[in-house]
Amino acid sequence: MLVLVAPGQGAQTPGFLTPWLELPGAADRVAAWSDAIELDLAHYGTTADADAIRDTAVAQPLLVAAGLLSASALGSPAAFGAVAGHSVGEITAAAYAGVLSEADALSFVRTRGLGMAEAAAVTETGMAAVLGGERDVVVAHLEKLGLTPANINGAGQIVAAGTMEQIAALEADKPEGSMKVVALKVAGAFHTHHMAPAVATLAKAAEALAPADPALKYVSNKDGLVVATGADVVARLVGQVANPVRWDLCMETFAELGVTGIIELCPGGTLTGLAKRALKGVPSVALKTPDDLDKAAALIAELTV
């Protein structure tokens, strides 16, 4: 079974959207999306610098737009048995599964980005990845420092979130058995209580949505469960901004479902990297540029004969 995955915030790099805009019709689609959400996606995806696209209100719509462009270049969702997204990537996944229209996905993620940016402005917060170490040992150490294990990603990676003072304390005092602590390119302590104000904002925005039930298995990073209804998907999208991401449980679900291959949407690399360590032997393709589409097509053809 092929699984499609969509990356989350921090995967963006300056200029990453540039080659995708050369695909037929892509520039026009992005221009229309930009007008609809009042954000120049083409500018931020091509010429803006790292600091500009680190802004939560910019990064999140940009990532969903890139995911949707690369997903459409793959063709019909019928080749895939399941879909999942990491953090904001869940909105991309919801659109690919038919839960949300592209227009609704972009509108919703714009509201999400603005709401989370506003919540992040209250207190100076951030996130850092802890690489290596036993999960329980790392989590206990984070909690001792007042940090939240905001992303439990599996494959020896847990992302801590909290105030910048707490992040600095973690960098000075790594958990036992861990190799290093790496600061992430995000502008807030996402998936923690610091994001609670954004939940109310998203709940209000969700009232305008008319979600359909997923057309393929939708794996939620709240708990790794397969979600059957569109209403449940949207409810989880709302609450998830203040709850930890359990990507480790998503990968366990992929294994239980019999995953035979994984394709990661643009800007790919992070989730396939985790899968190579946690789902050993499962082939994967990360879509970084349109040049990777041929490799993805080959994997799809091989696994859907």
Phi, psi of 99 (to 5 degrees): -70, -45
3-class secondary-structure state, position 49:
coil
Alpha helices by DSSP H, the chain:
26-37, 41-46, 50-54, 56-74, 89-96, 102-120, 135-144, 164-172, 196-206, 230-239, 247-257, 270-278, 293-303
Q: Give catalytic status of residue 70 as yes or no.
A: no
107 included as an active-site residue: no
Going by C-alpha positions, the residue among 234, 229, 263 that lies closest to residue 90 is 234
CA distances from 12 to 45, 82, 141, 287 (A): 9, 24, 29, 13
Is the N-terminal amide bond of 267 cis, ω within 30° of 0? yes
In sign, the C-alpha dihedral spanning 120, 227, 128, 10 is: negative
Q: Are 96 and 4 in contact (CB under 8 A)?
A: yes
Q: What is the b/e burial string over 193-218, where b = at least 16 CB atoms within 10 angstroms of the residue's CB?
A: ebbeebbebbeebbeebebeebebbb
Residue pair 112/60 in contact (Cβ under 8 Å)? The answer is yes
Phi, psi of 71 (to 5 degrees): -65, -45
Q: Choosing from 70, 87, 107, 178, which is the catalytic residue?
A: 87
Q: Is 51 exposed, middle or buried (0-12, 13-18, 19+ CB in 10 A)?
A: exposed
Angle of helix 56-74 relative to helix 26-37, nearest 10 degrees?
150
For residue 104, what is the DSSP state?
H
Tokens of 3: 């699984």
* From 178, 191, 194, 220, the catalytic residue: 191
Active site residues: 87, 191
